[in-house]
């Protein structure tokens, strides 16, 4: 068996970079090996995608990108955020596609606030008077609020939800009052106003000579 001699190869030239630094009050410049630049995972662009593929392990979880879908109330959304007609057109094209026929856009509900404002303005000074004698605002009766809601344009289902909530709040009055009595019964000084201390001012008398 013949011995194969290794082929002596010239060392590959290493990439260098010219650096300068301050040493002993003087500037020292020299050629140093160029440090390899590390591209972190998550870097944008095609290079970042290649690095992500290289760094994938056995426990790598691939996340699927969700396709863009417009909100069902895209007209209201675009109006509030000022997205412009281009966004509305894109949403309309998406809804006009036959593949998205199962999703129907929602039209914005038109509500007229004037009936409610007029009703609450009417009852703004029909409450019990305050300590200074000024009439306080009060909540209008429920049947009048229902009429104002109907005139404003609320649906029957919405009005039924408002009525149910109003009745629930009415039923909670006694429970809330019992809790307040329990709190202020334990700490009675908290419900009493802080008495004002009388300050006696010294009177300076002029001396007669």
- Over the stretch 150-176, which tens digit does the pLDDT of each residue have? 998 888 898 999 999 988 988 888 888
The C-alpha atoms of residue 51 and residue 40 are separated, in whole angstroms, by 8
* pTM assigned to the model: 0.40
List all residues 6 or more positions away from 29 whose beta carbon is below 8 Å from its beta carbon: 18, 19, 20
Q: How many domains does the chain have?
A: 1
Please indicate, yes or no, if residue 161 is contained in any of the structural domains. yes
Q: List the beta bridge partners of residue 32.
A: 17
Q: Which domain holds residue 161?
A: 114-187
**What letter does residue 7 receive in the DSSP assignment?**
P
Please indicate, yes or no, if residue 142 is contained in any of the structural domains. yes
Please indicate, yes or no, if residue 151 is contained in any of the structural domains. yes
Please indicate, yes or no, if residue 140 is contained in any of the structural domains. yes
Alpha helix segments (H runs only) across 39-109: 45-54, 74-81, 85-96
Please indicate, yes or no, if residue 27 is contained in any of the structural domains. no
Mean pLDDT over 95-102 rounds to 74
Q: List the beta bridge partners of residue 26.
A: 23
């Amino acid at each position: 068996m013949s011995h194969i001699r290794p082929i002596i190869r010239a060392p590959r030239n290493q990439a260098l970079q010219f650096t300068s630094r301050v040493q002993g009050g003087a500037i020292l410049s020299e050629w140093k090996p160029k440090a390899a630049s590390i591209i972190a995972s998550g870097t944008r662009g095609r290079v970042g995608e290649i690095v992500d593929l290289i760094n994938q392990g056995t426990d790598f979880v691939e996340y699927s990108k969700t396709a863009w879908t417009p909100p069902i109330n895209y007209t209201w959304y675009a109006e509030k955020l000022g997205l412009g007609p281009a966004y509305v057109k894109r949403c309309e094209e998406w809804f006009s596609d036959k593949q998205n026929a199962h999703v129907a856009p929602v039209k914005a509900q038109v509500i007229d606030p004037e009936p409610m404002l007029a009703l609450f303005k009417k009852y703004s000074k029909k409450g019990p008077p305050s300590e200074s004698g000024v009439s306080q605002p009060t909540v209008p009766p429920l049947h009048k609020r229902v009429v104002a809601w109907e005139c404003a344009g609320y649906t029957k289902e919405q009005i039924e939800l408002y009525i149910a909530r109003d009745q629930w709040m009415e039923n909670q009055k006694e429970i809330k009052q019992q809790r307040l009595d329990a709190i202020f019964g334990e700490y009675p000084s908290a419900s009493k106003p802080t008495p004002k201390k009388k300050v006696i001012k010294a009177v300076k008398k002029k001396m007669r000579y």
